[in-house]
Amino acid sequence: MLNCAKPQNGTRRCSRAKSIPSAPQFLKIEPLGESHKPLRAAFACGVEALDLYLKQQARQDAESRVALPYVLVSGDGRIAGYYTLASYGIRIDDISPELSKKLKLRRRYPMIGATLLGRLARDLNFKGQGIGELLLTDALKRSLLGSQIIASSVGVIVDAKDDKAQDFYSKYGFFAPFPDTPRRLFLRMETIEELFSKAGS
């Protein structure tokens, strides 16, 4: 669990990242592959667009490298949840001056790279088991590892589809630095690195 204090000046401070939640009935989170094809049809998270994406489009996105879907498979062979990661470009003019200052950006770079957490969904049969938190933690860790290999991302972006989703991400430190798109949330890679560093100490 990522433990966050109340926001100050519009930014939530995360003080500690506890160990990644796990349960014996779950296998590891892994990239979506051909072996998952028989499992996709049964997935139902309650949002039709997210269900259809996994069933009809996710494999194509993975093959074309448009986005990388990851799935969490249960011990009895069901997809408990999934998320997707992709590269994303942020226009400097689109972010708040406060975030620009924190990221130490220079105006000669019109765009900067980020990691887009495009989709995150949990099957209704696994409600209340911390699947959303497990998926988000894994997504942040993979994003961090990628940024350490190639300096291509200053943080993770997610577009919250509604108030409930926005509240979920806000609990883990995401904040809204894009004045024209208030549901577009951001978490600095530096903050993510601190979270996992503290979790390992």
Q: Which among 175, 153, 4, 150 is positioned nearest to 99, based on CA atoms?
A: 175
The pTM assigned to this predicted structure is 0.82
Q: How confident is the model at residue 108 (pLDDT cuts 50, 70, 90)?
A: low
E strands present in the chain: 2-4, 14-17, 26-31, 68-74, 79-91, 111-122, 155-159, 184-188
- C-beta of residue 118 within 8 angstroms of C-beta of residue 93: no
- C-beta of residue 45 within 8 angstroms of C-beta of residue 51: yes
Q: Could you report the per-residue pLDDT of 81-95, keeping only the tens digit for each?
A: 999 999 999 888 887
CA atoms within 13 A on the CB side of 115: 27
Distance CA(3)–CA(8), nearest Å, equals 15
What is the arrangement of strands in the sheet containing 184-188, beginning at the earlier edge strand?
26-31, 68-74, 79-91, 111-122, 155-159, 184-188
Residue ranges of domains in the chain, CATH in brackets: 2-21+80-200 (3.40.630.30)
Sign of CA dihedral 88, 148, 121, 28: positive
Confidence at residue 35, expressed as pLDDT on a 0 to 100 scale: 93
Using CA atoms in the order 133, 29, 128, 67, what is the torsion angle rounded to 10 degrees? 70
Q: Which two tokens stand for residue 104?
A: 């130490």
Percent of the chain predicted with pLDDT > 70: 84
> Residue 131: which H helix or E strand, with range?
helix 131-149
pLDDT(7) > 50: no
**pLDDT average, residue stretch 38-48:** 96
**pLDDT average, residue stretch 46-67:** 96
pLDDT(174) > 90: yes
- C-beta of residue 192 within 8 angstroms of C-beta of residue 106: no
- C-beta of residue 55 within 8 angstroms of C-beta of residue 79: no
pLDDT(198) > 90: no
Confidence at residue 6, expressed as pLDDT on a 0 to 100 scale: 41
